[in-house]
Structure formats: structure tokens, C-alpha cells
Amino acid sequence: MIDLRSLVRTIEDFPKKGILFRDVTTLLGHGAGYQQTIDTFVARYKNEGIQKVAGIEARGFILGGAIAHQLGAGFVPLRKKGKLPGQAVGHDYELEYGTDRIEMHIGAITPGERVLLVDDLIATGGTAEAGIRLIRIAEGVVVEACFVIDLPDLGGAKRIEALGVKTYSLFAFEGH
């Protein structure tokens, strides 16, 4: 087994001074590490009846598409505002410096479908919460929200669990 945590690069002072940016692209660029990451998620969810995997732009696409393929599930992109070509529903969420919005095509998830939410990292949980709210607007059932990395000091996993959604992360980094 590869120590996946060791494959994540830390970039100091990005995007602003005092932040330790956890860059998962170095893990994704490591063939065996990427494969182990996807295999770990697939093993966890293979018997959960996942019908759709919703991936949050952009690294959630890289992870979610591979997971969906292995599970035989459909993939639903959760995109930034204005990026989807068809009719979409959106949800705003708070950032440190304002608000942002993610959107999903109307009809991408049908009522009762079992959905796995995927992203690379959970920090404050704002983006993941917006994704959960979109899935619930479509009346999908959020089976779990999964991430490669958790930054527990920022409280995102607790925020998501307060919504009644379990979270799963491969590993955590203390601090932010």
C-alpha cells in the first residue's frame, strides 16, 4: 500500500498568505497512487447501490468520473455558475471573501436515486453543502460525501454530518 498522504504536495501561502494549500494533483499524477485512491473509494461503495456519482468541479470530476465508471453508475457534474449548457438549478454558498454558486442540470438526478457526492478536499464544507442541497432539490438520496482530504480544523465534515450526511475521507491534514 502506498502512503497516499505523502503524495499530496503542500504549497505555502496559496492562494493567500498563511494558507497551506493541499495540492492533490501530485497524487493524481502518480499512476499507482491515483489507482489506489479510486480503488479505495470503489471498494467502499461497490455494494451501496450507487446510481449516480456527483462530482464537484473540477477535481471532483477527475475522481468522480473514475469512481462512477468502476461502479457502473452515471456521472453528474456539479459546475460553477453559467458553465452548463442546458437548464440548470443552482445553490449559492459562502466563501471567505463573498459567495459562489454551483449548478446541476435539471433532470440529471431523478427522485429516489442513490447518489455519492465526491470532491478532492473538504475544508469549511460550503461547496459540499451546496452539492448536497442540489441533490436534495432533485429528490436524490445522498448516500455519503467522500473526499481524499479532510481539513478537520475547518469543520467541514462536522457541518456536512449536521445535515444528516455521512462523510468519508482517505486522510486528514491538521491545520490549514
Secondary structure of the chain: what % helix, strand, coil (to 5)? 30, 35, 35
Rg (CA), the chain: 15
Active site residue 174: no
Spatial distance between the Cα atoms of 143 and 131, rounded to a whole number of angstroms: 13
Pick the closest to residue 51 from 138, 126, 122 (CA basis).
138
Annotated catalytic residue: which of 22, 59, 79, 103? 59
Active site residue 59: yes
Rounded to 5°, the CA angle 130-133-137 comes to 140
Q: Are 53 and 67 in contact (CB under 8 A)?
A: yes
Annotated catalytic residue: which of 48, 96, 139, 161? 96
The catalytic residue positions are: 59, 96
